[in-house]
Structure 1
Amino acid sequence: MEEVLNVASSGPLGGRRARAFAGVLLCNALEWYDFAIFGILAFNLSQAFFPNDDPKTSLLATLAVFGITFVARPLGALLLGGLGDSWGRKPALLITAAMMAVGTLLIGLIPSYDSVGILSPILLLLARLLQGLSAGGEWGAASSFLIEWAPQRQRGFWTSFLSLTVALGSGLASAMAAILMTLLPPDDVAAWGWRIPFLLGSALCVVCLWLRNGMDESPVYFNTKIGRGAPLISASRPNLLSCLTAFGVTIHWTVCYYMFLIYLPIFTRSYGQVTPAQSVWSNTICTVVIMILVPVVGWLSDRYGRRPFMLVSCAAVVLLTVPAFRLIAAGASFPQIVAVQVLFGVAIAFYSGTAPAVVAEQFPTSDRSRWSSVSYATAAAVFGGFAPFISVWLTNQFGSLIAPTIYVMTASTVSSLVVLRMRETVRMSLA
């Protein structure tokens, strides 16, 4: 990140570009920390909010809440993404940060089921829906903001940092959970320790709001919507092909993210020869690999195109998923599980380093925030958010630990077909 800030600080836009870059990305990392910690601590949350004699039933209920949250993301994308096109990227980003802070704080403070009964899971669901609205609007506004501030030939590199900060936020969530489980006895984690990451995340969001308040609006947006006297509320309809392309591109991306960074730690904890702490440490190592590789892939995509890296990612997931799940199901050791997650981390990085630019480049400036948000959030809601729930359900339904691999491989195949048919966007100019 230091290198790109140095690049950003050169030239006539200088410090304004660097402040915009830092303000979006540091805050985006905190937003995704807040969103991911729920899935990583799903076991503990299931005990607090859905107590049941059958732990699998409690876990399914918690993962259902995790998935239902994604239903709110397309609505948040439409409303907050539209606000980003009508009022500006900066106001939309401030609102998404505030909503995520409130939702995260509520989860940290909600009494358990033993204290208030059915009201407890209802409040949990409402808090997660608020987070879902925030996450739905965040991605499109942030990706539009970054790609509009980026130099012409560095769009892939700049927007790849959006994926880096998603991995950073998830990595921070994994590391926080790992530290928590390492330092506290299991009974303390179950009783009250799980609340610490949520309360900390909500406090850090205050810093996020302060950073974003100091940003300038993107020059491309200003020139297109304000500088030229264009109406703030666009009446144009979305290009259906662009929306379908962005939707199809996102399927592999979102399924892999939630399968390999949210569900896989649950799977390894249940069936591998690892402790709960080791399962999240392995996940943390995976996210570090993603963070290192994502900007490299983004930089390379500016030179060699987006499509080759995306196709390699899809092919790797199709080929590796079944052997990997079989290895873990056979009782893999901690080093073996780390190796498996690192391989999937490389595959995710190949896609995440290019996909943000590809999705944003499908749309004109006047509608970029709205329809890139809606396309991405809808795919995430339909395919990604329910991936952990579907994986547990498939395992129980078919009595096979490798049943979830069908879901992942199908998603990768669909996205690879979309990537093969779409045009290369690396040399396109922003309009």
Structure 2
Amino acid sequence: MTLGGTLAFYTYSTYMQKFLVNTVGLVNADATLITFLALLIFAGLQPIFGLLSDKIGRKPLLLAFGALGTLFTVPLLNALQYVEDKWQAFWLILLALIIVSGYTSINAIVKAELFPAKIRALGVGLPYALTVAVFGGSAEYIALWFKNIGHENYFYWYITICIACSLFVYLGMQDTMRRSQLNNEPNG
């Protein structure tokens, strides 16, 4: 569940500034400015996507992230490579972050709603932390490694495959909006 969203988030947040400088050719100040602005808007979108999940359900948002992320990661990153100015880059990054919001805005509550409290800390917290550390933490390293060996676009496919794996998990899970483990807890 965490794999694709974490990798996409780290790509478009942590790694993006280096990508804009090293691949796109923007100056560091412009790369910093547009990533800051895109992330600022992205942060403001999180409660809006959370509210949307309260209206339509958690699963539709996760499915939208999984499907759109699978379909558009490669085209977005390929288009980003060839932008002609910083504002084109800004809009593409923002679009990518809007897609990722289908995961980031609700991933914590979905995990809380899927699993009872007695297993949440170890059974959910530990796998989540390991996934974030391994896949999120290595995103920049893997991206730069592919770039150094002359196959930067392989990283785009790596992200896409990871998002597709998460999509398959989302397809099989229940929607927790109405059936939540939190409802079974004394203070839930």
**Corresponding position of 1:410:** 161
Alignment partner, residue 47 of structure 2: 295
Q: Hey, what does 1:401 align to over in structure 2?
A: 152
Q: For 1:408, give the aligned amino acid.
A: I
The amino acid of 1:296's aligned partner reads I
Q: How does 1:333-412 map to 2 (within 5 A)?
A: 333-397=85-149, 399-412=150-163
Tell me what 1:98 maps to: none
Alignment partner, residue 13 of structure 2: 261
Equivalent position of 2:58 in the other structure = 306
- Find the partner of 2:84 among 314, 325, 332: 332
Partner Cα separation in structure 2 for residue 337 and residue 369 of structure 1 = 39
For residue 425 of structure 1, the aligned residue among 135, 158, 176 is 176
Q: Is the 8 A contact 1:273 1:331 kept in 2?
A: no
Superposed CA offset, 1:381-418 (max 9, x none): 23221011011112222x13322101110111000000
Distance 1:268 1:261 in 2: 11
Structure 1 unaligned segments of length 5 or more: list them. 1-248
Give the conservation status (yes or no) of the 8 Å contact 2:76–2:96: no
Q: Identity of paired residues, percent?
A: 27
- CA shift for structure 1 position 331: 4.9
Query: Aligned with 1:339: secondary structure?
Result: helix
The aligned amino acid for 2:155 is P
2: CA distance, partners of 1:332 / 1:320: 20
Structure 2 segments unaligned to the other structure (5+ residues) = none
Please name the residue that 1:153 is paired with.
Answer: none
Q: Distance in 1 between matches of 2:158 and 2:184?
A: 35
Q: CA RMSD in A?
A: 1.6
Structure 1 residue 305, shift from structure 2 partner: 0.9
**Which structure has the larger Rg?**
1
- For residues 253 and 430 of structure 1, do their structure 2 counterparts lie closer, same or farther at Cα, with a shift above 3 Å needed? farther
Distance in 2 separating the partners of 1:264 and 1:403: 16
8 A contact 1:273–1:333 mirrored in 2 = no
Q: Deviations over 1:174-225 (max 9, x none)?
A: xxxxxxxxxxxxxxxxxxxxxxxxxxxxxxxxxxxxxxxxxxxxxxxxxxxx
Is the contact made by 2:7 and 2:162 (CA closer than 8 Å) also made in structure 1?
yes
Q: Which has the higher contact order (CA 8 A, sep 6+)?
A: 2
Aligned length: 182
Structure-to-structure mapping, 1:24-423, within 5 angstroms: 249-397=1-149, 399-423=150-174
* Paired residues of 1:273 and 1:334 also in contact (CA < 8 A): no
Partner amino acid for 2:172? R
The alignment partner of 1:332 has SS state of coil
**TM-score normalized by the length of structure 1:** 0.41
Q: What is the deviation of 1:275?
A: 1.1
State the alpha-carbon separation in 2 of the partners of residues 388 and 281 from structure 1.
Answer: 19
Dislocated runs of 4+, deviation >6 Å:
none
